[in-house]
Structure 1
Amino acid sequence: MSLTGFDAQFVDLRDYIFKITEWIWEGRGIDLIRDYYAEDCPVKTPGGAFSGVEGVIRGTLETLQEFPDRSLLGEDVIDSEDAPGTYYSSHRIFSHMTHAGEGAFGAPTGMRAGVMTIADCLCRENRIVDEWLVRDQAGLARQLGHSPAALGEALAAKAALPDAEALVERWRGPEGDLDIDALGPVAVRYRDLWQHARLERLRDGYDRAIDAKVPGARTLRGHDDLERFWFGYKGAFPAGQFRIHHWIDREDAGEPRRVALRWSLSTTHQGGGVFGPASGAPVVLLGITHAELRGDTVVREWHQLDEIAIHAQIAQHRQQKV
């Protein structure tokens, strides 16, 4: 994919994303953020949102203060050109890091951790102009000896969280909510799983040797592991409204079929699952998923959700009831 409006040094969008990520983070070219992010770029995560390149710089410096040796190993970029000169990337990163400084995770522990992140970026004219990002905060917390539930309670106590519709709106892009039926059987299967708890879709839609990475820095292998993960989530959130806000479906020569979807689930904490006793809290799951497929069968999958942000929504509801 040639890049209209981008510097000639970038071969394609994958090359652009990998290179600027390495230059900024591992090359310590923090000031390059001003070159490669639009001045008013919004950055949205399940736990918060802000606009402006100076906020991106501040967040980068705060992360490096806490994890100065953080590496960013680019695993994949699933990308599309949605309009002439307007590109989407869904960028999956694995980071090794040592907790060596004060920050969001408290006093330095010296512990080594590994965490996955997926970032969706809307790119135009050599810059990132919009970004949605999910990091496995719960997996990082557990590796550093923290409870995701306790960190969620602290986040809820720190500031009021937006209501459910505002959280969904945070995750929408210019496309709004896509027509899931028009996207095909794989998208429909995700809706069947998240919205309708049709867990029989796991065994007929996933390879027996499925390799899946899920929140909490966990790896699942095979149908039994996969079902246990889904039982935990659907026990907590048995029903809801599933929306897909962006969808990329690629088949490139020599590579498996790859899909990337940014999605939300508006639901209610109705059961005992993995998020504690039922609270009745309105909850919005904000996720990004990558999958590799053989035909319509998922062979490898990466679900990114911020479980600390989910715990925070439940904690805020409980605090309001008290």
Structure 2
Amino acid sequence: NKIVHEWLVRDQAAIARQIGSNEKELAQKWLDASGGYFKAAMPAAPSYYVSHIEQKGHAAKYADFLEQIFRSFQKINADHFYAQQIISALPGGESAVGQNQIMQFWQSLAGSLELSSFQVEHSVANEREGRPIAVAVRWRAKGIHGFLDVMASQQAAHSKF
């Protein structure tokens, strides 16, 4: 009868825009205040905590969808995961309308990361009568963002001259 894990989802990009800043400025401010780019390791969950990962059904299907995109960059058939009329909230206060836009978001995100690991940590579906099925998947990706490679390439190109 104790809360062990709490999920906090906050759209920092949208918040930055609302206060007259942008994502990059806000992130740099936080990095400067915390001492730089290197994040302290997360402590392990208590030994008695077991994260729930559904092995079948809608949550398992969606977790598999994410793994396919992030591990192999496969072209995924959106019909298996999203209704034609999907409207999805995206980072930065943006929206995706329809399967094509949501798939473009996921493929763009996966393509911007050079991953060393991808892990689904929790997945669960909530099915309620008369309501759409809600699926929550918590995942962790470790790797290098493509933007850093671009910056390094630009610095190397400038240093040659």
TM-score (norm 1): 0.39
1:1-322 aligned within 5 A:
86=1, 124=2, 128=3, 130-160=5-35, 161-163=38-40, 166-167=41-42, 169=43, 174-175=49-50, 178=53, 184-270=60-146, 272=147, 278=150
1:155 Cα deviation (Å)? 1.2
1:240 Cα deviation (Å)? 4.3
Count of aligned pairs between the two proteins:
147
C-alpha separation between the residues in 1 aligned to 2:39 and 2:11?
A: 21
SS at match of 1:228: helix
C-alpha separation between the residues in 2 aligned to 1:178 and 1:278?
A: 36
CA 1:220 to 1:130, structure 2 compared with 1: closer, same or farther past 3 Å? same
C-alpha separation between the residues in 2 aligned to 1:156 and 1:181?
A: 40
1:238 Cα deviation (Å)? 4.7
Equivalent AA in structure 1 for residue 16 of structure 2: A
Equivalent AA in structure 2 for residue 205 of structure 1: F
C-alpha separation between the residues in 1 aligned to 2:75 and 2:90?
A: 17
C-alpha separation between the residues in 1 aligned to 2:14 and 2:82?
A: 24
SS at match of 1:132: coil
Equivalent AA in structure 1 for residue 140 of structure 2: S
CA 1:247 to 1:177, structure 2 compared with 1: closer, same or farther past 3 Å? closer
Residue aligning to 1:299: none
Normalized per residue, the structure richer in strand is 1
- Unmatched tracts of structure 1, length 5 or more: 1-85, 87-123, 281-322
C-alpha separation between the residues in 1 aligned to 2:82 and 2:64?
A: 14
1:250 Cα deviation (Å)? 2.2
TM-score (norm 2): 0.71
Normalized per residue, the structure richer in helix is 2
1:231 Cα deviation (Å)? 3.8
- Unmatched tracts of structure 2, length 5 or more: 153-161
What is the CA RMSD across the aligned residues, in angstroms?
Answer: 3.1
1:152 Cα deviation (Å)? 1.0
CA 1:184 to 1:224, structure 2 compared with 1: closer, same or farther past 3 Å? closer
C-alpha separation between the residues in 1 aligned to 2:29 and 2:91?
A: 19
Equivalent AA in structure 1 for residue 28 of structure 2: E
1:217 Cα deviation (Å)? 0.5
SS at match of 2:85: strand
Deviations 1:233-288 (A, max 9, x none): 12311544222222222222222222212221112213x5xxx76358xxxxxxxx
1:133 Cα deviation (Å)? 1.1
C-alpha separation between the residues in 2 aligned to 1:177 and 1:261?
A: 10
Q: Is the 8 A contact 2:52 2:123 kept in 1?
A: no
Deviations 1:77-117 (A, max 9, x none): xxxxxxxxx4xxxxxxxxxxxxxxxxxxxxxxxxxxxxxxx
Identity among equivalent positions (%) equals 24
Q: Is the 8 A contact 1:177 1:243 kept in 2?
A: no
Q: Is the 8 A contact 1:236 1:278 kept in 2?
A: no
SS at match of 1:207: coil
Equivalent AA in structure 1 for residue 121 of structure 2: H
SS at match of 2:14: helix
SS at match of 1:209: coil
1:188 Cα deviation (Å)? 1.0
Question: Which of the pair has the greater relative contact order for Cα pairs under 8 Å at 6+ separation?
Answer: 2
